Structure 1
Amino acid sequence: MNNEILMAVVILGITGLAMGLFLAFASKKFEVKVDERVEKISACLPGANCGGCGFPGCGGYADAIVNKGAKLNMCAPGGPAVAEKIGEIMGVKVEASTGDKIVAKVLCQGNYDNVSIKYNFRGDIKTCAAANIYAGGEKSCQYACLGLGDCVKVCPVNAIKVVNGVATIDPKICVSCGACKNVCPKNVIAMLPEKNIVTVTCSSKDKGIDAKKNCKVACIGCGMCAKACPKEAIIVENNLAKIDPSKCVNCGLCELKCPTLAILNLRHPNGHGVRKPNPAPVTPKPEIKEEVK
């Protein structure tokens, strides 16, 4: 009996030793060598894993730089400082960026003071994606920010908060990753130069009369802003005014001419220059208000 036990132990020991030697050999034979530069680059990246570079996380971007020839300056959160470090690792000089900082901006003023509510959800609707499935959300404007904070959840630096039913983004905190833009089901978030402080803060493509019924401060596509612009930086397309940031000089004349307050000029605390704070056209007629309820 003792001999049988001893034999079993010996056989088991020999088998274990053989398997260990085989695994050691296999680990060396089939080892996938990782370029140490990938690890170094990954270590100097912010670690936000925002995906703004177009690759799956910081590790994916580091691998793409070393093995796929990706550009060295695609990390928006890291900025020029990180690009310079990556350049040192790769042995390449990275030219200092001369471009303007790009930030996310919410092109909507559809808060609960400016839009009506079509209906109240009777269910556990807690995301913009879910709310958008139900007739485009509860707000009278089908293009309005849904205000349930999907963008807030994906922002890696907590630059976004929802105020009175509309997302607001702090440009000083924004790292330009674009995660909020990608998750917004209404496409009301755009990536624009931070320096452009005059913005058409509306995304409605409805005809003027319908847009005005649905939101007090909607762009009605009248074109008065385009006529006032000295740089021809504004066009009206699909009933919506659009400002070309490469041409805009932030003069603010378009904002002063806008009859519905759809254009904001951040030079002023309330977004508007010297004018009536609430011109008559902004307040809808009683019958229009009843129609959108």
Structure 2
Amino acid sequence: MDWSLIIKSLVTLGGLGLILGVILLIASIKLAVKVDEREARIRSVLPGANCGACGYPGCDGYAAAIAAGKAPLNSCSVGGPEVARKIGEIMGQEVTAAEPKVAVLICRGGKNEAPLRFQYKGAQNCRQAALLLGGPKACIYGCVGFGHCVTVCPVQAIRMGENRLPIIDERKCIGCGRCVTECPKGTLTLIPRRKLIYLACVSHDRGRAVKEVCSVGCIACGLCTRVCPVGALRMENNLPVMDFQKCIDCGICAHKCPTKSFIDRAPGRPKASINPRCTGCGECVKVCQFKAIEGEPGKQHRVIPEKCIGCGQCVLVCPVKAIDLVGALGHSVKTI
């Protein structure tokens, strides 16, 4: 056996391995992708829902974008203010948490309110049904009613009701907006969680054209824009558009609407109550749009409970603060 040949082979192979190892080491150093340690820390505080509400493909993508300075720190609707605060601490910045939102259905035309114009025998899928002449409902704007939103909700916050309309569990909803982007008819939207009043109609028709296809659709009468005490509504393309920053949730628009196209999320509304401090000035009578207050000039007035909707306008105008709203826990009157 030629040991010298074996030794030379081992030395050659060892040297070659050493050279290749050095080359790989240099390459790994030169081509290394530097990972910001903040990215891992940010990822650890994110909830891991991977809902995409932040606009990035999952929590990993959002964490990387924040660390790179390419994304706002408060876009995680699932984590809310607490997660935004923790991310701010990691990034060394002060963060104002984004306003929490909730998904709502902006269509009331179920099978009992919106008739069908043809019998649909295809796949029970909203997207496929919508491709066929806009869906089987006579109202081409309304909810198709096959529950695509139910299947895409990452937290099972939506179920279909008996009236073929989705029902959203606001306690479960994380405001990610996935149902909104997936709805082929645009009948779901996100509103500030604090808001109580919103319009539940997306039809751009008006008058008879609406009533022929839906009994609860907005007919574009514009009454809501005229009765709103703070000018929070304006007509646009035959629909009232609400300015949520102006709206005080008084509920006047919802109660005045002839087709009941507005939804009031308040679990209960209070009633006005007038105490003996009342001087009988009559300012409350003037401002009440429901004729819910009566009384003689100079004498204590009284509220007619069955007419009062608890809008609070009388409270705001009473010069002697003789009116209170009672009967609904947690209700507060917003100033104009």
The TM-score bracket by the shorter chain reads 0.7 to 0.9
2:136 is equivalent to residue 138 of structure 1: yes
CA distance in 2 between counterparts of 1:15 and 1:239 reads 81
Q: Note if contact 1:38-1:62 (Cα within 8 Å) is conserved in structure 2.
A: yes
**What is the aligned partner in structure 1 of residue 236 from structure 2?**
237
Instruction: Give 1:128 shift.
Output: 1.5
Using the aligned pairs only, state the percent identity. 42
- Please give the per-residue CA displacement for 1:141-169, whole angstroms capped at 9, x wherever unaligned: 11111122222222222222221221222
Q: RCO (CA 8 Å, sep 6+): is it higher in 1 or 2?
A: 1
**What is the aligned partner in structure 2 of residue 166 from structure 1?**
165
Greater fraction helix? 1
- Please give the per-residue CA displacement for 1:249-286, whole angstroms capped at 9, x wherever unaligned: 121111221111212223357xxx968xxxxxxxxxxx
**What is the aligned partner in structure 1 of residue 127 from structure 2?**
129
Runs of 4+ deviating beyond 6 Å: 13-16
**What is the aligned partner in structure 1 of residue 293 from structure 2?**
none
Give TM-score, length-normalised by structure 2: 0.70
Aligned-CA RMSD value: 2.9
CA distance in 2 between counterparts of 1:174 and 1:184 reads 16
Aligned residue type for 2:125:
T
Q: Note if contact 2:139-2:213 (Cα within 8 Å) is conserved in structure 1.
A: yes
Aligned residue type for 2:132:
Y
Bigger CA drift: 184-193 or 170-179?
170-179
Aligned residue type for 1:213:
E
SS in 2 for 1:104: strand
CA spacing shift, 1:14–1:255, aligned 2, 3 Å: same
Q: Note if contact 1:208-1:239 (Cα within 8 Å) is conserved in structure 2.
A: no
* 1:93-104 matches, cutoff 5 A: 93-95=94-96, 97=97, 100-104=99-103
Instruction: Give 1:107 shift.
Output: 0.5
Give TM-score, length-normalised by structure 1: 0.80
Aligned residue type for 1:166:
L
Larger radius of gyration: 2
Count of residue correspondences: 264
| Unmatched 5+ stretches in structure 2 | 1-5, 269-304, 308-336
Q: Note if contact 1:110-1:165 (Cα within 8 Å) is conserved in structure 2.
A: no
CA distance in 2 between counterparts of 1:45 and 1:100 reads 17
CA distance in 1 between counterparts of 2:205 and 2:188 reads 18
CA distance in 2 between counterparts of 1:16 and 1:186 reads 66
SS in 2 for 1:214: coil
